Amino acid sequence: MAIDPVLEEYLGTLTEVVFDDGLDVPGERAREREEALRAPRLAKPHAIEERGVPGPEGAPDIRVRIYRPSAETGLPVTVYLHGGGFVVGGLDTHDNAVRLLAEQAGTIAVSVDYRLAPEHRFPAAVEDAFAAYAWALANAAELGGDPERVAVAGDSAGGFLAACTGLLAAERGLPAPLFQLLVYPGTGASPGGGFSTSEGADTSGGMSGEELGWYLRAFLGDQDLSALPPYMPPGRAEGLSALPPTFILTAELDPLRADGEAFADRLRAAGVPVEVKDSPGMVHSFLRWMHAVPAARAAAQPAFEALGKALAGARATG
């Protein structure tokens, strides 16, 4: 296993961050946002709009950014949940990824600015993700979209939230997403409900096992793990048969690669159609560096294409 040389060189230009109790979380969020805003835009959607949508009961509105790839009506809608360990990340850090997803998959994309830990611990992010999905279902037509073709997508922690959204839709009586796209997700699918790490993972830039543990502690706090709801973690939940056809994109050098593969195995066992594709030479979070690393952009293409094919196929047979 060897990291892509352009990616390795680019990672060497980034600020090294130590994830421990002394981390300046607001400062890290600002740094990542500024880094993303300096990057060139990879796609120019027909229109971009921001608005607030209703949050869970008793919670504030959720900010969303809506990307329309064209003026065409009746387009599918995809709710996108960004990565960042439930602690960092936002609409700006994943702007390029969602621009490309909207363009390449031919979908209206609704990027969700869910509440972050440690200020807002579990289940805040999960409930925000579900509320945004419920809003997209109810308002797809107003957006110029097709309410019968609403998908979910997410990377890393966002993949976790996307899977939770599908499980909650079944539990709460909403239609299941038409499709789910999960990019290097952490789902807790490994035996015992943990997040297994892959042998040979490169922790020089993407993520380390120590960083993963720090994120989870920030997300869950001191909650009693035995009292968590049945969808936690989604990779070990019952009722996975309720989830839609799934595409999982992993990264060869990602500590979470084994977890994504384990989740795919559990989905297959539940009868869910699933495709897994690995990305040679890539580390965790590579979507954020597509502007600087051609191999990262190429690695993301199969995921966007799979989403577009699933959504277009549903229109053809619907």
Instruction: Give pLDDT, residue 20.
Output: 81
Strand partners, 145: 75
The pLDDT of residue 192 is above 60: no
List the chain domain ranges: 5-317
* pLDDT tens figures, 3-23: 999 999 999 999 888 888 889
Instruction: Give pLDDT, residue 187.
Output: 95
* pLDDT tens figures, 231-289: 999 999 999 999 999 999 999 999 999 999 999 999 999 999 999 999 999 999 999 99
What CATH fold (topology level) applies to the domain 5-317? Rossmann fold (3.40.50)
- The whole-angstrom separation of Cα 302 and Cα 248 is 10
Question: Going by C-beta distance under 8 Å and a sequence separation of 6 or more, which residues neighbour residue 142?
Answer: none
- The whole-angstrom separation of Cα 182 and Cα 81 is 10
Q: From the candidates 111, 156, 198, 279, which is the catalytic residue?
A: 156
Residue 208 falls in the annotated catalytic set: no
Q: In this structure, how many other beta carbons lie within 10 angstroms of the beta carbon of residue 39?
A: 16
- The whole-angstrom separation of Cα 246 and Cα 275 is 6
Residue located via tokens 């607001």: 26
The pLDDT of residue 108 is above 80: yes
